[in-house]
Structure 1
């Protein structure tokens, strides 16, 4: 319910009881959740501190699998702070655990984030490879909705590289899935990406493809473009 202060108070109560009764292992969970709340509130120093506490306990008790989640979150905090090398190291730790323990599905989110870091660092080949790994897993598991984020990043990456045909293809995939799920906010975002390509290419076939997906006329699309 995004009532973060209330959540924080309850997790802190739980943590204080675990500490009082010296239940070290159980402390990891409230530390993890307190880290999540702090990250939502953009209190990144607090988030990192709580994640590190959680990770230390998980390592101490040999809880290998759950370490991956905390490494992933630490990577996310570093990514938020634009500390990209730190972010990459943590995400690679998470990925190594997911691979080691055969959790193929969870690898997708980590590959996706590694792709974003590589893109920020203009390591475009690395970015593309990671996004494609993420997308392949999402397709393999039929996770249709989460594919939109990866198609979107592949589209934006292709734009950066000047490959507008590839960008168009990926953004249209994003549009198709967003339409299927009736995600209005997402549709508006994707439409902006596609309209940017149209402004450069004046590609009539792009308008036709958008119109077909949205179930409207090409004239409707042109009118929307003009009003924007």
Structure 2
């Protein structure tokens, strides 16, 4: 209840700021305020309203040719559509955001956009597209040295492989993610689970003299 009340208060504050920027005729700050309003609306689970706000925001920022902020708005719009279970619309929006990030040359955000797409493709059972997005995303994060993000993508890639019954490949990819997590010293639940895979393989190697793969 406390968190919901906080988001409700944020909605009110954002709406007041938005009214001021509109009165001043400041279109750019109006567009940015719409992003903040949409985030607050999502916090109160008003996804339909957030989606409409973000569509307006994307249009304004597009007119102003602020591609960086427009891409952020598209990212938030994709998130709102996903939370509303409007997956095909979320995929279309995420593809549009990916194009912008690629054109801007922002490699990290391009990798993030591909990762988000891979999740959407997976939930809609478009496993071929999901695999391609995972591979491209992991390659980008590897190239720019973001090992933690690469590990996260590899975990999703392993899930896609499991869904397509490519079990041994899934174990191999999961092992790669586990090795990265171990190198980074991560201690979250996902990393601990990954480390258990490595420990199991080490026990198998000690017992039988050969790894799983």
TM over 0.5: yes
CA distance in structure 2 between the partners assigned to 1:210 and 1:19 by the alignment: 65
Match of 1:163 among 161, 166, 176: 166
The match for 2:75 is 72
Find the counterpart in structure 2 of residue 117 from structure 1.
120
Q: Distance in 1 between matches of 2:73 and 2:154?
A: 26
Match of 1:81 in 2: 84
Structure possessing the higher relative contact order (Cα contacts under 8 Å, 6 or more residues apart)? 2
> What is the TM-score normalised by the length of structure 2?
0.82
Residues 117, 210 of structure 1: CA spacing in aligned structure 2 closer, same or farther, 3 A cutoff? farther
Moved more, 55-64 or 130-139: 55-64
Query: Matches of 2:98 and 2:65 in 1, distance apart?
Result: 17
- What per-residue deviation string (whole Å, max 9, x for no partner) do you get for residues 111-151 of structure 1? 11221222223222211111000101111111111223211
Structure-1-length-normalised TM-score: 0.77
Q: 1:207 aligns with which of 180, 197, 200?
A: 200
> What is the RMSD of the two structures over their aligned residues, measured on CA atoms?
2.7
Cα distance change on mapping 1:189 and 1:207 into 2, 3 Å: closer
User: Which residue pairs with 1:31 in the alignment?
Assistant: 34
18 and 189 in structure 1: CA distance in 2 versus 1, 3 angstrom threshold: farther
Contact residue 145 and residue 181 of structure 1 kept, 8 A: no
Asked whether the equivalents of residues 32 and 69 of structure 2 are also in contact (C-alpha less than 8 Å), the reply is no
- Residue 182 of structure 1 corresponds to 186
Contact 1:15/1:31 (<8 A) preserved: yes
1:12 counterpart (15, 37, 57): 15
| Alignment length (residue pairs) | 202
For structure 2, the residue ranges without an aligned partner over 5 or more in a row are 208-213
- Within 2, Cα distance between the matches of 1:69 and 1:210? 46
Q: Is the 8 A contact 2:78 2:91 kept in 1?
A: yes
- Stretches of structure 1 that go unaligned for 5 or more consecutive residues are 195-204, 219-228
Partner SS state of residue 172, structure 2: helix
